[in-house]
Amino acid sequence: MPEQKNNNTPTGPDTNTELSKHRKREKILEFEAQLSVIMARYKITYQTVMDLTAVIAPTSLRMATTLPDTSSTQEKYRSKTITSDLFSLIEKYDTPYKTVIKLAKKIDKSNTISSKFVAVNPEKTRRYLNPYTGAIIVTKKQTPHKILCAWKLTYGKLTVDSWLVDER
């Protein structure tokens, strides 16, 4: 019997291009994660990243925008720190400035979308302190609490209502 060659292992130029595309995608994903960390750490938006890339970009690529004039030294230091972190990240991953801006916009959009799902009106709570026993009860405003109801039966509604420490 003649031997059959194993055709399961791909070879040739298609494999190399697929591999390089995969590496390039991984590199961009790593860069995006690092950029997201920087944006979260310094609490900056897409517009700030765009302004910073305009400042650190080579003169031929510079945009018309510049950083706003910061008056305090603390703001100047913060701006320089952000700029240096962003520049070192761009150099580390050798990322084009257009890609940086595009990814920053994507990150900023995802941050604003996720903030829409935050509870608009969280349930309010009340804290009562029983001066006789020293017990503290935290209740949700709409839910009656067993012990609180027992206190109201024992001491009276007006008395227990006066034990309200705070409402959140």
Over the stretch 55-78, which tens digit does the pLDDT of each residue have?
Answer: 777 654 444 444 455 556 666 667
Count the helix, strand and coil residues of the chain and give each as a percent rounded to the nearest 5.
55, 10, 35
Comparing C-alpha atoms, which of 23, 66, 48, 27 is closest to residue 107? 48
* pTM of structure: 0.51
Residue pair 62/51 in contact by the 8 Å Cβ criterion:
no
**C-alpha to C-alpha distance for 70 and 91, rounded to whole angstroms:** 26
Q: How far is CA 87 from CA 79, 80, 115, 135, 140, in A?
A: 12, 10, 28, 57, 49
Instruction: Supply 139's token pair.
Output: 């209740």
pLDDT over 90 at 158, yes or no: yes
Q: Which amino acid, one-letter code, is at 29?
A: L
Q: Given this model, what pLDDT does residue 155 score?
A: 92
Q: Given this model, what pLDDT does residue 7 score?
A: 55
DSSP assigned state of 57: S
Q: Which residues contact 46 (CB under 8 A, 6 or more apart)?
A: 101, 104, 105, 107, 108, 109
What is the per-residue pLDDT across 86-139, written as a single tens digit (0 to 9) for each?
A: 888 888 888 888 888 888 888 887 765 554 555 556 677 888 888 888 888 888
What is the per-residue pLDDT across 3-29, written as a single tens digit (0 to 9) for each?
A: 555 555 555 556 778 878 888 888 888
Q: Given this model, what pLDDT does residue 61 score?
A: 47
